[in-house]
Amino acid sequence: MSPSGVQKERMEPEDMYVFATNGSILSSPSPKPYPHKPPKCSDCASLFLKITYMEMIKGIQGHGYYDELVVPIIENTAYENKLTDSLAKAIEAYQKQHLCLFATMTYIYGETHGSVTKPRLNVITICLMLL
């Protein structure tokens, strides 16, 4: 998981928090020198976006054209720590998915930065097509 308040495009693998399946932190990013702030892990009534028969679904791991892509959409809150329970429930309920939409942001998670780049672009395209 990426720290709060950082430019996701500039992150390296060592900038990420790594969690065990039970939620405990296995590793965390090292603080950068001043003037950077120390890293803070994101404190992250779900709705769900269901999409099928769209070409872009094939770009999301484990999905094909005829599959139904179910994306949890979580109500955003003023503070990240208020999102924790709803995000955990969405991830538990939809383990095949590797993304979660919020009112103002998208969380896409995977084993490596490269494993989330293509799905991110496909999700952006799908959302634009639905507008």
Catalytic residue among 12, 14, 55, 92: 55
In the structure encoding, which two tokens stand for residue 52, read together?
Answer: 């099928």
- Per the annotation, the verdict on 80 as an active-site residue is no
- Distances from the Cα of 12 to the Cα of 16, 61, 85, 113, 116, angstroms: 7, 22, 27, 8, 13
Report the catalytic residues. Answer: 55
